[in-house]
Structure 1
């Protein structure tokens, strides 16, 4: 049983690290994927389609994603002012 717990813990850490790397390299694609997952869940479970719940899920995603992937990913996605101001 200990070997199974160790394997599952190791697997979860590997998945978490790969997700962080993917989020740092492809933040826009990750946001699109998360939106698609939320929409798919809303179709599968109609109770999730409530506007208040959907807004909260999106708000949490918008707030949590930059925190998880860091400032570097945000700089790559944010447009730069051409005037330099």
Structure 2
């Protein structure tokens, strides 16, 4: 049983380190994903109790928009060509 907990702890630590690396290298993308996750929690869960389709369409738009805007902003602030970094 101890081995299982060690593996779970190791996986959690690796995920945490990868998240820190992502936050340092891709802050715009991380912000857009976190915004979308917050919007998903705020909109999707209450809207599951309603049968109105327009509510679901608005929810999808509100969640997808920050991802699209984040990717657009990322392409403007991040170098796209490795030769530009030198």
- TM-score in terms of structure 2 length: 0.51
**Structure 2 unaligned spans of 5+:** 47-76, 78-86
Match of 1:39 in 2: 39
Any idea what the Cα deviations from partners look like across 1:21-69, whole Å, max 9, x if unmatched?
00000001100100000011112223xxxxxxxxxxxxxxxxxxxxxxx
How many aligned residue pairs are there? Answer: 47
**Structure 1 unaligned spans of 5+:** 47-76, 78-85
- Structure 1 runs, 4 residues or longer, greater than 3 Å off: none
Match of 1:14 in 2: 14
Query: Once the 2 structures are TM-superposed, how far is the Cα of residue 15 of structure 1 from its aligned partner?
Result: 0.0
Quick one: distance in 2 between partners of 1:25 and 1:11? 21
Cα RMSD (Å): 1.3
Which of structures 1 and 2 has the bigger CA Rg?
2
Does residue 28 of structure 2 align to residue 28 of structure 1? Answer: yes
- TM-score in terms of structure 1 length: 0.52
